[in-house]
Amino acid sequence: MKIASSNICRIAFTAAAALALHSQAAQADENGVSLWLPGFFGSLAAAPAVPGWSLGTVAYHTSVDASGNVAAARQISIGQVPVTANVNLNANLDARGDMLFIAPTYTFPTPVLGGQLAVGVIGVVGNLDTSIAGTLTAQVGPIVATRSGFLSDSFTGVGDLYPLVTLKWNQGVHNYMVYGYGDIPVGAYDSRRLSNIGIGHGGIDFGAGYTYLNPTTGIEFSGVGGFTYNFENPSTQYQNGIDFHFDWGASHWLSKQLFVGMVGYAYQQVTDDIGAAAFLNGFKSRVFSVGPQIGYLFPIGDKQGYLNLKGYKEFAAENRPEGWNVWLTFAISNAAPTSTVTPTRHAITK
């Protein structure tokens, strides 16, 4: 049977529509974007705060890329003849993002369940630049057709709202925390765009954390783990799987105002996405990261200021973009009543 090359191309692009819909350079967590931003928690995560209002801001920059090679055999009819086409999509994604997170938080002075309750909401505005370059190859028998393409998109806008509730307990050098976090999908989102500030669906996240802080030695270590449940994206009928994440930070206080240390995170999707093509198998995402940090406390009138700079280099990514990101945090809160090595806590001053 003789098959024209134009028919091969038609087969290729028919198959590509299904492949590209679910691959996007082999990214689980729809388009490689999760509700939880790894690195959100870090040093002093469970340490108590000074009651009253605080305001945290984070300037966040990320640079990631990903490549994926997705192959499938598809049965397509040409005329009345069934033909099996072996289709391979090799895509490369490159993305850059600059965002500003703003988080007003109120810490209650009256204990709740013997702990310190704080509530806040996080808003975000930012810019994303995304591009995808790909090569599609289809083969039917000895005939091979190849097509290449490039897509790019840049968008600036307002993201979703993220409410956050924490409850903390202190027992000497040991500090404990539980938290609840969510996504209200009111941000700029369009499923036809490559770049979106909003994620297009709601979700909830719960977890717990611990901070060891010894004022005598100046040694601190914090770890926070949690699970994310994602609701279905109504625009795409795609639902991300359940994610597990663990953020950590370790520091040494050089004085009552200055500390240096390390940060890191681990992120693992534990259930499959719903809506991914069968040939993508489990399609679970994973990434790890580690990097340095430095923090500084300083007075601002009768308030307390806090600066923190931390960076993460990602590695061992699977079905998710990999790269690096930097966080510059500035926060202001009520000053602590006494001067100690223990800084006060603010929303997203991790």
Q: What is the pLDDT of residue 8?
A: 43
- pLDDT at res. 17: 42
Per-residue pLDDT at 50 exceeds 80: yes
pLDDT digit string (tens) for 307-327?
Answer: 999 999 999 988 888 899 999
Look up tokens 């091979």; give the residue.
Answer: 144
The tens digit of pLDDT for each residue in 214-230 reads: 999 999 999 999 999 99
pLDDT at 152: 83
**pTM metric for this prediction:** 0.82
Q: Summarize the confidence of residues 261-289 as an average pLDDT.
A: 84
- Report the alpha-carbon distance of residue 110 to residue 233 in Å, rounded: 39
For residue 113, is pLDDT > 60?
Answer: yes
Q: What is the 3-state secondary structure (H, E, C) of 262-279?
A: EEEEEEEECCCCECCCHH
* Spatial separation of the C-alpha atoms in residues 350 and 214, rounded to whole Å: 18
Considering only CA atoms, give the Rg of the chain.
Answer: 24
User: How far is the C-alpha of 251 from the C-alpha of 258, rounded, in Å?
Assistant: 10
- Average pLDDT over every residue of 142-164: 84
- pLDDT at position 23 is 44
Mean pLDDT of 87-96: 76
The residue-averaged pLDDT of 332-345 equals 64
pLDDT of residue 31: 64
12-26, 28-42, 64-78, 297-311: least confidently modelled range: 12-26
Closest to 327 in 3D by CA, of 158, 52, 33, 124: 124
Contact 240, 257 (CB under 8 A): no
Weakest mean pLDDT among 5-9, 233-237, 273-277: 5-9
Q: Whole-angstrom Cα distance, residue 31 to residue 222?
A: 30
- Band (pLDDT 50/70/90 cuts) for residue 98 is very high
Using the predicted structure, report yes or no on whether residue 99 has a pLDDT greater than 80. Answer: yes
172 CB contacts (<8 Å, ≥6 apart)? Answer: none
Instruction: Say yes or no to pLDDT of 328 above 80.
Output: yes
pLDDT of amino acid 76: 45
Structural domains of the chain ordered from first start = 38-65+95-128+154-334 (2.40.160.40)
Q: Who wins on pLDDT, 131 or 31? A: 131
pLDDT above 90 covers a percentage of the chain that reads 57
Q: Is the predicted pLDDT of residue 34 greater than 50, yes or no?
A: yes
Predicted pLDDT at 22: 42
- Split at pLDDT 50, 70, 90, the class of 338 is low
Question: pLDDT value at position 68?
Answer: 65
- Looking at per-residue confidence, does 278 or 199 come out higher? 199
